[in-house]
């Protein structure tokens, strides 16, 4: 799927410029390096084993088939964040998109996660997604707070649904928002939360 309007330069809160663009097959190695560089405490709660080369191969294939939209943020030739929109191409939930976002620890709390989620919402609107969902483990406090600010509200808790990489069972929270609500929340945040896209 060809996405219009990229690459973009996003300025973080401290003015650091970051390039945001769709993942290309040639970025696979850099994406794997990014995921392998995340601290274990982050990877503990990620749905997939993003450090596995086999996972990466399947992920790139899903991007190629249009089932997944992946945006990467780059700085100094390295991937520093990735945001994914999963969307079923068949069946009764083709209007639903699932979002996941990961940002390098050194660049957190500077608005990049919010910017990437916002860009994915724009893409989602263009491709006909009406409802956005996230699946987060109860312990992912930062992610829960970020998505709450973006208008997501809890729909369900699945108790003991996740086994983290240490085998400990955790509760999974499903939260959702209509795309238009995320859009409204993004606009409301713009005034005081100023990562800007050029």
Ligand X SMILES: CC(C)(COP(=O)(O)OP(=O)(O)OC[C@H]1O[C@@H](n2cnc3c(N)ncnc32)[C@H](O)[C@@H]1OP(=O)(O)O)[C@@H](O)C(=O)NCCC(=O)NCCS
**Contacts to ligand X by CB under 6 A:** 42, 100-103, 108-114, 134, 136, 140-143, 145-146, 149
Kindly tell me which of 4 and 175 has the beta carbon lying closer to ligand X.
175
> For residues 157 and 160, what is the distance between their CA atoms, to the nearest angstrom?
9
Q: Which residues pair with 157 in a beta bridge?
A: 173
> For residues 186 and 196, what is the distance between their CA atoms, to the nearest angstrom?
12
Tokens representing residue 93 in the block:
């939930």
- Work out whether the CA dihedral 146, 104, 136, 93 comes out positive or negative: positive
Kindly tell me which of 26 and 109 has the beta carbon lying closer to ligand X.
109
In the complex, what is the shortest distance from the CB of residue 20 to ligand X, in angstroms, rounded to a whole number? 12
In the complex, what is the shortest distance from the CB of residue 56 to ligand X, in angstroms, rounded to a whole number? 17
In the complex, what is the shortest distance from the CB of residue 189 to ligand X, in angstroms, rounded to a whole number? 8
Q: Which residue is nearest to ligand X (CB)?
A: 113
In the complex, what is the shortest distance from the CB of residue 126 to ligand X, in angstroms, rounded to a whole number? 21
In the complex, what is the shortest distance from the CB of residue 5 to ligand X, in angstroms, rounded to a whole number? 20
Kindly tell me which of 27 and 144 has the beta carbon lying closer to ligand X.
144
Task: Report strand pairing: 17-22 vs 96-103.
Answer: unpaired
110: nearest Cα among 10, 9, 11, 13: 13
- Given a contact cutoff of 8 angstroms between Cβ atoms, the answer to whether 72 and 27 are in contact is yes
Kindly tell me which of 22 and 142 has the beta carbon lying closer to ligand X.
142
Q: Which residues pair with 169 in a beta bridge?
A: 163
Kindly tell me which of 140 and 176 has the beta carbon lying closer to ligand X.
140
Is 183 strand, coil or helix?
helix
């Amino acid at each position: 799927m060809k996405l219009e309007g990229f690459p973009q330069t996003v300025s973080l809160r401290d003015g650091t410029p970051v390039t945001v663009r769709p993942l290309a097959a040639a970025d696979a190695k850099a994406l794997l390096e990014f995921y392998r560089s995340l601290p274990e405490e982050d990877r503990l709660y990620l749905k997939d084993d993003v450090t596995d080369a086999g996972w990466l191969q399947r992920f790139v294939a899903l991007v190629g088939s249009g089932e997944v939209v992946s945006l990467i943020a780059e700085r100094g030739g390295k991937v520093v964040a990735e945001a994914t929109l999963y969307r079923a191409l068949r069946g009764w939930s083709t209007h639903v998109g699932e979002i996941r976002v990961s940002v390098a620890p050194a660049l957190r709390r500077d608005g990049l996660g919010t910017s990437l989620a916002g860009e994915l919402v724009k893409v989602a609107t263009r491709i006909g997604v009406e409802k956005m969902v996230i699946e987060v483990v109860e312990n992912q406090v930062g992610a829960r707070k970020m998505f709450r600010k973006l208008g997501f509200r809890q729909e369900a808790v699945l108790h003991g649904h996740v086994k983290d990489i240490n085998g400990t069972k955790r509760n999974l929270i499903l939260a959702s928002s209509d795309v238009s609500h995320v859009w409204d929340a993004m606009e409301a945040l713009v005034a005081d939360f100023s990562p800007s896209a050029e």
